[in-house]
Amino acid sequence: MREPIRVTSSVVIPGAALELRTSRSSGPGGQNVNKVASKVDVRVDLALVEGLPPAARARLEALSANRRDRSGRLVVTSQRTRDQGRNLEDAREKVKRLVERALLPPRRRLATKVTPGAREERLREKKLAGQRKRARRHALADD
């Protein structure tokens, strides 16, 4: 039985939602890299995550959209160290951080007005661009 990942007191990724795979790492390890399967892939069935509010679940789906396998499971990989156990902990921490990010609602954007100085600068730049184009047009006519 795999150890569950406790994200908060109410949000838990059960062990049944996790699948672990190991393979040879392309990272550090010297001659050992060819013998030991230190790279860890953790696959998470997001539908089995417990205690996730619907809005956070939708954010998690969006955040993990580019990290999914064919069956829709989240895939997190770690090959940072030479040790399989530490890579496993690193991968589990990555999953936890991703779910924590999904739990935070996005900050509301405060609408701001364009300052008069910025508006004047924009218009000045537009006039300069027009002058440059006009100068080019006259230069081509002279040729």
In the chain, domain spans: 5-103
DSSP structure string for 29-78: -GGGGGT---EEEEEE-GGG-BS--HHHHHHHHHHTGGGB-TTS-EEEEE
> How much is the pTM?
0.71
Regarding the domain delimited by 5-103, which CATH topology (the fold level of the hierarchy) does it fall under? Double Stranded RNA Binding Domain (3.30.160)
pLDDT of residue 29: 59
Per-residue pLDDT of the chain (143 residues; tens, 9 = 90+): 578 899 988 999 998 989 988 887 775 556 666 677 888 899 999 999 999 999 999 999 999 999 999 998 999 999 888 888 899 999 999 999 999 999 999 999 999 999 999 999 999 999 999 999 999 987 777 66
pLDDT of residue 53: 92
pLDDT of residue 21: 86
pLDDT of residue 27: 58
Q: In this structure, are residues 99 and 109 in contact, taking their beta carbons and an 8 Å threshold?
A: no
Q: In this structure, are residues 60 and 17 in contact, taking their beta carbons and an 8 Å threshold?
A: no
